[in-house]
Amino acid sequence: MPFPLHRMRRLRSHPWAREMTRETRLHKSMFVEPFFVTEGKGRRVPVPSMPGVCQLSVDTLVEECAISREMGIGAVLLFGLPETKDGVGSEGYSPKGIVARALEALKESLPDLYLIADVCLCEYTDHGHCGIIGAGRSAGPATKDVLNDPTLDLLAKEAVVYAEAGADMVAPSAMMDGQVRAIRSALDAKGLETLPIMSYAAKYASGFYGPFREAAQSAPQFGDRRGYQMDPPNVREALREVALDLEEGADVVMVKPALAYLDVLRRVADSSPVPVAAYNVSGEYSMLKAAAERGWLDENRLVMEILTAIRRAGADIILTYHARQAAKLLDG
């Protein structure tokens, strides 16, 4: 006897039936909220291209993180905006640098908040690239390239400074070959064997980073980052990057951006023996905000739909500027 045609609708007709049979669930524990910390006191500087996001001084950062923690968000990711920049990003690995001071203040005020420190040089270099610049040969004698191996020493130094300042996890994002191994070795040498590394393993050279570069004041002053970030059409390359970072000691691997790379996220999640993170990046956030401000989209509904899609594609951890909004929506 054939089944009636309406059989698929039986578990959709009642709200509780839909809730009870839902396959993919979001929880506040999987959210990481990014913050931008800057010099000064009492500062909340709005980022024009990211409505609702501000550059915060250390004191206001502590206040905002306390609100997030009260809402059930247990982890934050910090990016620094230094007072001065130079060719080697020295403020990034200074024990008195902006992120190190922010970590110390947060650890003292909110000891149960999980602190993740982004490890890169782009916010701290006067040229805006993620490593040391030297003469290059890729396009002629006058070109400049990011030098991989000399950069590793500085990334490792930066990671140690952040760990000693109070970071619970470090997150290298420079896409230098061997960065996880260099950081793992440096941490272990300092007796920090238990501190985990979340690697931006598959970080693409994406156009979705524009608002972030305004927020972090990290736009390259020449060229672009295609020479070290991944080419968007490639998937097998992402799996190789993940495999290499796992060999080097990554405890979590990340796919960035999220929305245009859900297929990559699914492939990584299917093969990864460690938790997988996805970064719902600034451009994805700003697009939705802009459309919602014009009344073109239902913002709350789309926030949850997007985050659910990222979770459904395989993310165990979601880094998102929508963290507070989603937490509030999950509370009903």
Active site residues: 203, 256
CA distance 79 to 281: 14
174-180-183-189 Cα dihedral, nearest 10 degrees = -170
At 325, the amino acid letter reads Q
- Tell me how crowded residue 152 is: count the other CB atoms within 10 A of its CB: 24
CA distance 153 to 293: 45
Question: For 284, what's the count of Cα atoms within 13 Å in the CB-facing half-sphere?
Answer: 22
Query: What is the number of residues in the chain?
Result: 332
CA distance 329 to 282: 20
Question: Residue 223 phi/psi, 5° resolution?
Answer: 60, -155
- Tell me how crowded residue 72 is: count the other CB atoms within 10 A of its CB: 16
Q: Which of 229, 125, 226, 103 is nearest to 170 (CA)?
A: 103
Question: For 211, what's the count of Cα atoms within 13 Å in the CB-facing half-sphere?
Answer: 23
Show Cβ contacts of residue 108 under 8 Å, excluding neighbours closer than 6 positions. Answer: none
Q: Are 34 and 319 in contact (CB under 8 A)?
A: yes
User: What one-character-per-residue DSSP string does 51-81 give?
Assistant: TT-EEEEHHHHHHHHHHHHHTT--EEEEEEE
Measured CA distances, 87 to 2, 99, 178, 222, 270 (Å):
72, 18, 21, 13, 40
